[in-house]
Amino acid sequence: MKIEFAAAPLAPSTSPVAYLVEQDKLPGGLDPVVAQGAKSSRFTGKTGQLHEGFVSRDGGVVRMALAGTGEAGAKDRLASFERAGAAITTKFIASGEETVTIDLSDAGLSADQAAAVVLGARLRGWRYDVYRTKLAAEQKASLTTIRIAGAPDGTEAAWKIEAALADGVELTRELVTEPANIIYPESFVERVTKRVEGSGLKVRVLDDAEMGKLGMGALLGVAQGSRRPARLLVLEWNGGTQGTKPTAFVGKGVTFDTGGISIKPAANMEDMKWDMGGAGAVAGAMLAIAGRKAKANVVGICGLVENMPDGNAQRPGDVVTSMSGQTIEVINTDAEGRLVLCDCVTWVQKEYQPTAIVDLATLTGAILISLGHEQAGIFSNDDKLAGQLIAAGEVSGDKLWRMPLGAAYDKLIDSPIADMKNVGPREGGSITAAQFIQRFVDKGTPWAHLDIAGMAWSAKPGATWDKGATGYGVRVLDRFVRDNLEG
């Protein structure tokens, strides 16, 4: 989606024009036909509400829209402006119109609020129709340009920051949307490397032979059933004080998950192309951080494997040795994400000695039972880090709910023949998964695990996304960096 800025007042135009409306405060100078239509359709300006009308202008007919921004004193005010921008895009994306103008001349917004409108409009306009060759004309996206008129001073500068965020969210959505025959460990690396070229990110890739030498038996055990070799993608951003240890983001990147020998039911298995949503979020967040030249040192790690059930696949009951030296009895090969993450966590600690680690993974179905599709679960060994991430989630809209950890849960993954097993009982499944990862975190290192299984993909449209890949995780990581790592 192309974003343009124009000075007000608007020149005569036949393209649609949209205005923002605060709840219960229709603009006084509104065309009477549109005003009456809004009242008749019970449009009041609630957050995300939209009314469309037509007015006569310069001998022609112009489409006009009113987008609600909700109550002025609402707590999540920036989110309200995002939803207003998104509502405008939703209305016009397949309308046949190529350009829509959002007139902010009399909206009384700050630069940040105006940028939020633009962000919502752009994010809601993302679609991935690469493989759709027979769309009917009325289903095809026609809208290519959002023109912002009369924006307050500073909006364009504020938008440059948010545009970098949008780039990151869109990269994540693209990666998560692509099918597994297109995005697999090697092509994930190629796609991301190409997209971050020129961003200032330092890219490093470890192949399966290098990981073998490092002793990453847990990660490679997952990959051994696939013809696709594993990869470890490292994205390094050094925008902070030279010599300061980075914060590490670690993402689970299972590009397709059959469950391995513990094979999943056939129904809905196609959804497992997005089991790399954690790695996708890390890649997108790193692009966003680099794109806005964040004054922080951050490293992103994507552990990339495909979990397949061929004759070389690991079996339930196998014992593997992780890079940390700890041994793992693999009770269920479908509990593979934690096996990938544990070696990634060990590697990043040995290589970077990070000040904190945040991992993201579409890890457990159990988190869906607990939290549904409303927020991700956060598990942490550090109250301060957990609080910072939860606060970042509230501001960004990528919401988090803290879940418990404890010694009683940890005992549930003790193994009779190895240091641990990779699953506990059915009860508390997301908790024992987090306990497993925690066993690989060095003492004294702040760590948080985000189980995003319910958030990476949506079966229905949301405020700023269509159904499908949401881009969840990018915004909470970016906001965390903004609020806590940058001076």
Q: Is 421 a catalytic residue?
A: no
Q: If you ran DSSP here, which 8-state letter would residue 274 be given?
A: G
* C-alpha pair distances (Å), 197 with each of 109, 193, 287, 290, 357: 35, 6, 10, 11, 25
- Catalytic entry in 91, 338, 399, 475: 338
Cβ atoms of 149 and 6 within 8 Å: the answer is yes
Q: 127 is written with which tokens?
A: 């679609």
Chain-centroid distance, C-alpha 74: 25
State the burial class of residue 211 (Cβ atoms within 10 Å of its Cβ: 0-12, 13-18, 19+): buried
The DSSP code sequence of 93-117 is TTSS-SEEEEE-TTS---HHHHHHH
In 30-128, alpha helices (H): 32-40, 77-92, 111-124
Residues 6 or more apart whose CB falls under 8 angstroms from that of 344 comprise: 219, 232, 250, 301, 303, 359
Q: Is 204 a catalytic residue?
A: no
C-alpha closest to that of 281 among 456, 460, 125: 456
Nearest-angstrom CA–CA distance, 356 and 398: 20
Q: If you ran DSSP here, which 8-state letter would residue 445 be given?
A: -
Nearest-angstrom CA–CA distance, 423 and 413: 6
Q: For strand 420-421 and strand 327-329, is the pairing parallel, antiparallel, or unpaired?
A: parallel
The DSSP code sequence of 313-348 is S--TT-EEE-TTS-EEE-S-TT--HHHHHHHHHHHH
State the burial class of residue 408 (Cβ atoms within 10 Å of its Cβ: 0-12, 13-18, 19+): exposed
- Catalytic entry in 57, 127, 191, 264: 264
C-alpha closest to that of 289 among 405, 200, 219, 395: 200
Cβ atoms of 281 and 172 within 8 Å: the answer is yes
Q: 196 is written with which tokens?
A: 């971050």
Q: Greatest CA span in the chain, whole angstroms?
A: 84
Cβ atoms of 257 and 275 within 8 Å: the answer is yes
- Active-site residues, by number, are 264, 338
